[in-house]
Structure 1
Amino acid sequence: MYAVIFTATTNPLDDEYSQTAAKMRDLAFSKYGCLELNSVCQGDQEITVSYWPTLAHISAWQADPAHRAAQALGKQKWYKAYSVQVTHIERQYQQKC
C-alpha cells in the first residue's frame, strides 16, 4: 500500500474549493481505487493523506483530466505553496481504545 501526503499553504478558500474537493474525493474513490482519504485545514495550512493499493493507481489518478483541471485551479487560486510526497507503507497496525 502507498500513501500520498499533500501539504499546502492556502489562500482564503471559497465555496468553489469545497465543491471541487468533494468532487475530487468522490472521483478518487469511485474511479481510481483510493482506499482512504483524510484532510484537515488549520488556519492557512492544509494536509491531506490518501492511501492507494499501487503506484499505478496513483499515476492514473494523477493523469485524470478533471484532477488536472482541479490542480490548475489550485495553483491559480487556492494555494500559495504545496508539497506532495508518495510513500510506501511498510507496516500498519490499529488499536481501538
Structure 2
Amino acid sequence: MTRPAQGLMLAVSRWETVPADDLPEGQVVFGVAWKGTCIWLVNEDYCTRQLRDEMNDQLLRLAGDGLWIQVWFHRRPIPASSGSVPLLASPRAPLLMA
C-alpha cells in the first residue's frame, strides 16, 4: 500500500458525491454494482471533496491493482452446513446509524 497505484485497472471502485435527493430515503451511502464496477454514492453533505478524492486514490490502489476484491454473497454458492460451525446472521440493528 505504500507504493503508488500501478494503474492495472483490474477492478473499479469509486466514491461519487451526490445530492441527498439522489439517494434512497434515509441512506447516506449507497453502493451500485454495474458491469464489474462498484460505485459508492455518498451524500455530499457528509463527505468533503478532499475525502472523496483521497478515498478514490486508495480505491484505485486497492481495487485497481487487485489488492482487494469484493465478493457479493448472492453470487457465490452457499456452503453446506456441517453442523459444527454456527451460521453467521446479519445484525439486528443497522451498522450505520444516520
TM-score (norm 2): 0.26
Higher relative contact order by CA 8 Å / sep ≥ 6: 1 or 2?
A: 1
TM-score (norm 1): 0.26
Structure with larger Rg: 2
